[in-house]
């Protein structure tokens, strides 16, 4: 049986904010983000398709979304460790939420509190925004 995605369940956006605040420097924070990526279950090969690929990311990123009991269930994967961790940061805020909750969540403020975008390369920042944009698009369609 596949490992359940803990993001948005046992690992929340509040947990990530608290944990990142604990570290003194960005090297330790990057390491924490990479460790988060290790918590993300791999996406099965049959779900790594072109229609699930997120455009605008430097690395390959796949996103699978489905509705279950009125909540978005998001599974994602990447070929880069740091990106898997960034996916965890995003999924902690969006996974297992109603589409309305996803659309109401202030992702810009979340990233500001994490002080994340300032510490990513421009291409990684663009990729992170592309991930969020895709999830918000899915939520918008699911909310109607």
Which run of H or E residues covers position 68? strand 61-68
Annotated catalytic residue within 57, 92, 94, 114: 57
Query: Six-digit token pair at 78?
Result: 């990447």
Dihedrals phi, psi of 5, to nearest 5 degrees:
-65, 115
* Cα-based distances in Å from 70 to 5, 15, 73, 99: 17, 24, 9, 8
Active site residue 57: yes
- Which burial class, exposed, middle or buried, applies to 126 when counting CB atoms under 10 A from its CB (0-12, 13-18, 19+)? middle
Q: Any idea which residues carry the catalytic annotation?
A: 57
């Amino acid at each position: 049986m596949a490992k359940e995605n803990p993001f948005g369940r046992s690992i929340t956006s509040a947990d990530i904010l608290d944990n990142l605040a604990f570290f003194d420097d960005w090297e330790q924070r990057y390491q924490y983000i990479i460790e988060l990526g290790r918590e993300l279950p791999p996406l099965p090969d049959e779900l790594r398709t072109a229609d699930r690929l997120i455009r605008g990311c430097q690395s390959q990123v796949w996103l699978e979304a489905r509705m279950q009991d009125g909540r978005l269930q998001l599974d994602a994967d990447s070929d880069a460790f740091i990106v898997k961790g960034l996916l965890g940061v995003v999924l902690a805020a969006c996974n297992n939420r109603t589409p309305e909750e996803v659309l109401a969540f202030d992702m810009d403020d979340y990233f500001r509190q994490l002080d994340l975008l300032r510490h990513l390369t421009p291409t990684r920042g663009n990729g992170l925004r592309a991930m969020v944009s895709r999830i918000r698009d899915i939520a918008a369609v699911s909310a109607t």
